Amino acid sequence: MLRYTLTTIVCFSCLILPIRTNAATGPVKCIAYPDDAKSPTIHAAEKLAEVLGKMASVRLPVVPERKAKRPAVFVGRTKSMPKAMRQWLDSRKPWAGAAAIEVDARGNTYICGPHDWATWWAVGDFLHQEGYRWYIPSPEGVEIPVGHSLAFKRRSYRHESPFVLRDPPWQSSHLENILEWRALNGYWISYNAPEVIERYGAGQPMDMGSNHREMYFMSEDLFKQHPDWFAMVDGKRVYTHFEYTNPEALNYVAEQLIAQIRALKEPYELYTFGMADTGKFSQSPEAKAFGTTSDNVFSFVQQLADRVSAVFPNFKILQLSYADYPEPPTKVKLKNNIIVIACMWGSLGVSDTTFPAMDPKLSPKFRDLLIKWNQAAPGGLFVRSYWGDYDSFTPYPMLRNMCYDLKEFAKNGVIGLENEFHPHWAANGLYAWSLGRLLWNPDLTEDELTRDWCKGYWGAAEKPMLEMQRYLQDSYASKKDVYRGRMTEEAIAKCDGWMAEAGQLLKDSPERFAWRYELANTGWKYSARFLRAINTIEDVKADQWDANTDPTALSARLRSTIVDLHSISEFAKTPLGEWAFCKNVSQAIINKALSVDLLAIPTGHFQFQEQFDRNGGYSRILAESTEGFYPYSSYGLGVEKGQTGQLTYRFKTADTNAVFDKVILSFFHLYKNYAGVESPGNAVKICVDGKNWIVVQENKDFRDATIDLSDYIKGKAEFQFRIEAKAPESARLELALDAMIMDFDVRRQ
């Protein structure tokens, strides 16, 4: 268990001691790790040997320190580590993102971090200094300089990131390529499966399950039994939040939370709580007595944190400061057992997900809120950002904003960053890679990162891709031609030209560049179709369109325009199909286990998170699929007042001789009642003949629901599945499908 108080690191600043270099000495003979090394350090040493071996076209042995032949590269806390280096590492805090590298006069190289998983970061930093780049999480995304002598120049290097938490892109965070890519690019390793811990270390010492965990403690049965435990809105109890002033509600949540912490298998010290993202807070007289929603919320959370601390003294609660409570509380004094996650987007009241880097009117408020929260949160301050957007369809040129904002965070006491980033690797790979580099070293500049990417990733096509990136950044910053989810026809045409020029320049390049171009060009074609479809909407033509409104018109325009790109047999075989949606979709076809008809998904956004097994098995599917198509959000379905909407999926066996034997579907975070109002009708329906829909469940509460469809689909090679919801006349309804689990068996006839 890490014994450590975060207040000691609030004043971290980015520490980089200069690299002192002299002439190189002779080549190293092996990679060595401590005689008592744990497995993560050994794996980091093996990865270093693999990369250096490719750089020099040799095979470097990886051995315990006692067997090392010098000069050698020593990875981890070896006995021979220089004293000054050891003292510096010992002075770092357990969670510090830090790296120390020494190359002595005899050619021995020492690489280490203050803990196991930080040694991976140190190895990545060293390789980066030697010219290695891993731009996107694919073997084709790697650049390895060749002809290296393995004689390293002398240096004395110390680096410490100001950010303890460096949250990575979300998508497919458990995939092996993604994990290693994160480890070598300065991101946290936060997926704590046993095999991941064995390779990388315990990783992020917290449970980052949800910033809206209050919803996990709520249920409709609990609401029926104890309505007084829930918020009062417009004079009646509603199922949106707990009544934070009710001591029985507090006792219930505290008991449930303590029980969950006891059940944790890993030695976490942080537990994310956070209020449900579901409608209005209580308007009861007791709640109003606090004066502000922030005081009401943080009074409850502080009492909750105190209950937890009484049982688990080292635990801290992470609590989001969100749209309805952006300011620090004025009556409640927070203690060290709470870390605040300031959601700056909601705090600033900005409809666009950019931070106010380029907006002089918002910039003072931005800094003011950082300063206020840093003073009000003695346990530490994280920030939540939205640099990846939700739709993942189009280029989202946020690099300039990221460079600006991260410097501001570091100056104003922010020690961690959570980032909502759903990477479309074709369009936004530069930004996903750059974010990791910036979180490791926020002093890097937009120009340095863009040049590095365009030269290394694009090779012969460096010039047009550099021009394209600079144009996107300049246009987005000035809000001219490039907007969030929008581009003018002139901008689209310019990007068409740069992409075509890049294709010509890469004709004779190595195969990995052809792969990168196919990825980028397929993604750009998709983006261009999406953007041109948006430009057909009348409000857009009149320049009166708001990206956060008009979902119905956008859906009608886009449904027939985009989905033809998403054929399971064609699109899934492209690099974009494999990597923009982050999994070998084509492998599912090869295995002949299951194919998914993406034409049934109006948005075309579908993600496989576990590989399908040939004979069935366990698969996780994340989809954004709506008839109403709620744009620019991960939430699935927006149903207007009095209207009905559906989420529809079509599944079929890829092998014509195979049929389904079993299908069980489970849903997570699918809310029939997102707006806090009763819905008049919900249904789960299935179609097995291509024409008629059969009701499987009616008036189903879709919260964490599990539905067995086996009796309907047994012996069928194809079926359609639909979730249907009708909104009441009084309010809009939103269904949020975060994930769907499909447990299925397939048999040959």
Average pLDDT, the chain: 75
Q: Hey, how many other C-beta atoms are within 10 angstroms of the C-beta on 644?
A: 17
- The per-residue pLDDT for 642 is 75
Containing 214, the helix (H) or strand (E) segment is none
* Better pLDDT: 648 or 8: 648
Q: What pLDDT does residue 412 have?
A: 85
pLDDT value at position 204?
54
Distance CA 92, CA 162 (A): 12
Least confident of 37-41, 296-300, 675-679: 675-679
Least confident of 10-14, 463-467, 543-547: 10-14
Q: Does 551 score more than 50 pLDDT?
A: no
What's the rounded Cα separation, in Å, for the pair 168 and 97? Answer: 14
Rounded distance, CA 354 to CA 358, Å? 9
Give the pLDDT confidence of 34-65 residue by residue, as tens digits: 999 999 999 999 999 999 999 999 999 999 99
* Residue found under tokens 């397939």: 746
Question: Is the pTM value of this prediction over 0.85?
Answer: no
708 strand-pairing partners: 664
pLDDT bracket for residue 672 (50, 70, 90): very low
pLDDT in tens, 239-275: 889 999 999 999 999 998 888 788 765 556 778 888 8
Over residues 312-371, the pLDDT tens digits come to: 998 889 999 987 888 899 999 999 999 999 886 655 544 344 444 445 555 677 778 888
Q: Is 353 within 8 Å of 389 (Cβ atoms)?
A: yes
Quote the CA–CA distance of 648 and 645 in Å, as a whole number: 10
Residue 600: Cβ within 10 Å count? 17
- Residue pair 401/358 in contact (Cβ under 8 Å)? The answer is yes
What domains can you pick out in the chain, each with its CATH number?
6-200 (3.30.379.10), 208-444 (3.20.20), 566-748 (2.60.120)
C-alpha–C-alpha distance, residues 341 and 374, integer Å: 11
| Strands 482-483 and 230-233, sheet pairing | unpaired
Predicted confidence band of residue 83 (pLDDT cuts 50, 70, 90): very high
Q: What is the pLDDT of residue 663?
A: 79
Confidence band, pLDDT 50/70/90 cuts, at residue 553 = very low
Is the C-alpha dihedral spanning 253, 256, 262, 267 positive or negative? negative
Q: In three state form, how does the secondary structure of 559-623 look?
A: HHHHHHHCCCCCHHHCHHHHHHCCCCHHHHHHCCCCEECHHHCCCCEEEECCCCECCEEEEEEEE
- Give just the sign of the alpha carbon dihedral 574, 472, 179, 665: negative
Sign of the CA dihedral with 187 first, then 188, 190, and 191 last? positive
User: By mean pLDDT, which of 394-408, 533-547, 654-668 is the weakest?
Assistant: 533-547
Residues 209 and 202: their CA atoms lie apart, in Å, by: 16
Give the pLDDT confidence of 363-394 residue by residue, as tens digits.
677 778 888 999 999 999 998 887 765 444 57
Instruction: Give the model's pLDDT for residue 555.
Output: 42
| pLDDT value at 476 more than 90 | no
Lowest-pLDDT range, 16-30, 411-425, 446-460, 574-588? 574-588
